[in-house]
Amino acid sequence: ILHWEEDLDKNPKPISAKWKLERFNSDIKIETFVGRLSEENIDEVLEGVDVIVDCLDNFETRFLLDDYAQRKKIPLVHGAVEGTYGQVTTIVPGFTKSLREIFPNVGRKKEKFPILGATAGVIGALQAMEVVKLLTGIGEPLLNKLLIVDLAFNTFDVVELK
């Protein structure tokens, strides 16, 4: 949704998103990072964040975020999409299961898989709402719950994570 044809092969996603989001609200401060997140740079990249939002395409880096969130006691809002499917959960260290506990047997990253803008938009909006809930205390975040979305059939299921 935030990336246009004119961005292809020109603007990295963080830069493209920042430029567009700042036009929605000129009072917000957006810091970007372009590069590969690693154990060596994660402390510097995520220093001072209040909530981590996972918009990644692989579990290797997601687990790196999860480890950081657990170590720093920072909430992590996980989201993932593939085709018409998506999932969202909110992890609060010391209170909910970690991402590694929820997905202990995840395989290696697929080379390519379909990402539909509409699915990413729905999951992204749900993640944004999870952040709003965490920051404001309004509503009930998906704590120890996994929301599974199938937009091909318009189904939304919540799985209790025990």
Q: Any idea where the domains of the chain sit in the sequence?
A: 1-35, 48-160
- In whole angstroms, what separates CA 151 from the centre of its chain? 18
Mean per-residue pLDDT of the chain: 92
pLDDT, tens only, 58-68: 889 999 999 99
Give the pLDDT band of residue 109 (cuts 50, 70, 90): low
Q: What is the DSSP string of 75-144?
A: -EEEEEEEBTEEEEEEE-TTTS--HHHHSTT--PPPS---B-HHHHHHHHHHHHHHHHHHHH--S---BT
Cα separation, 92 vs 144, in Å, equals 9
Please write the tens of the pLDDT for every residue from 42-90. Answer: 999 999 999 999 988 888 999 999 999 999 999 999 999 999 999 999 9
Question: Residue 21: enclosing H or E segment and its boundaries?
Answer: helix 13-24
Secondary structure (DSSP) of 23-69: HH-TT-------S---TTTHHHHTTT-S-EEE--S-HHHHHHHHHHH
Higher pLDDT, 126 or 6: 126
Residue 10, pLDDT above cutoff 90: no
Query: Is domain 48-160 given the CATH code 3.40.50.720 in the classification?
Result: yes
Query: What pLDDT shows up at residue 111?
Result: 67
